[in-house]
Amino acid sequence: MRQQRLRDAIIKAYDLHHLADSAVSVVASLLVFRDFDYDDEPVASITSSGEMILDWRGYEMPIESALPIMETVGYICPTDFDATYGRW
């Protein structure tokens, strides 16, 4: 009985992880980037602490900071990272 509960919990964890990855992919598809090389655009992900970020060349921008940029300017550019966020 306990083993089956463990197996079920593992399956549920994988399902939720997949759902979170899918949600991050949707967010990433709605972001607009300008002045980045095609193969060097920021990557959206969720950190181990559960924070959604944009990662670019070692800079991390919380998604909550990207939202007002998208709402006011309409796109994110490299200077948004350089001006505001330090490298890790």
pLDDT digits (tens, 9 = 90+) for 5-21: 999 999 999 999 999 99
pLDDT digits (tens, 9 = 90+) for 23-54: 999 999 999 999 999 899 999 999 989 899 99
Which bin fits 69, alpha (ψ -120 to 50), beta or left (φ > 0)?
alpha
| Segments of the chain assigned E as strands | 43-46, 52-56, 59-62
Q: Where is pLDDT greater, at 83 or 7? A: 7
Whether residue 86 is predicted with pLDDT greater than 60 in this model: the reply is no
What is the β-pairing status of strands 43-46 and 59-62? Answer: unpaired
What pTM was estimated for this model as a whole?
0.80
Domain residues of the chain, as ranges?
A: 2-84
